[in-house]
Amino acid sequence: MDSGANMIRVHVFISGRVQGVGFRNFTRSKAEELDIAGWVKNLEDGRVEAVFAGKANKVKEILKSIRKGPTFAKVDDIESKQEEYVGEFSDFQIVF
């Protein structure tokens, strides 16, 4: 990852039917495809939390992808907050 001015970091909380439907694997696949770093995890309250860091256009693209999600998911809402890009991730992981 380069540290150009077009790099952004977005922290998201996804709610709906997003656990038990392959959402984390779907998100990791998309992130790897788009060369986005960060992580995704399930939360105890049924939501999924993720941080995406990478080129602005690629992060916007993954945000569109997760709004739809994998086949059996139903995304009701995405809360997202742009944060300072610090380049702390080298890849994208599912965390537990």
Question: Please, which pLDDT band fits residue 68 given cuts at 50, 70 and 90?
Answer: very high
Domain 7-94 classified CATH 3.40.50.720? no
Question: Please, which pLDDT band fits residue 4 given cuts at 50, 70 and 90?
Answer: low
Q: What is the pLDDT of residues 44-57, one digit of tens each?
A: 999 999 999 999 99
Q: Domain residues of the chain, as ranges? A: 7-94
7/23 Cα distance (integer angstroms): 24
Active site residue 28: no
Active site residue 42: yes
Q: Which two tokens stand for residue 29?
A: 């696949």
Catalytic residue among 6, 9, 17, 42: 42
Q: CB of 89 within 8 A of CB of 26?
A: no
pLDDT for res 1: 46
Given a cut of 90, is residue 81 above it in pLDDT?
yes
Catalytic residue among 24, 28, 47, 57: 24
Given a cut of 70, is residue 3 above it in pLDDT?
no
Instruction: Quote the pTM value.
Output: 0.94
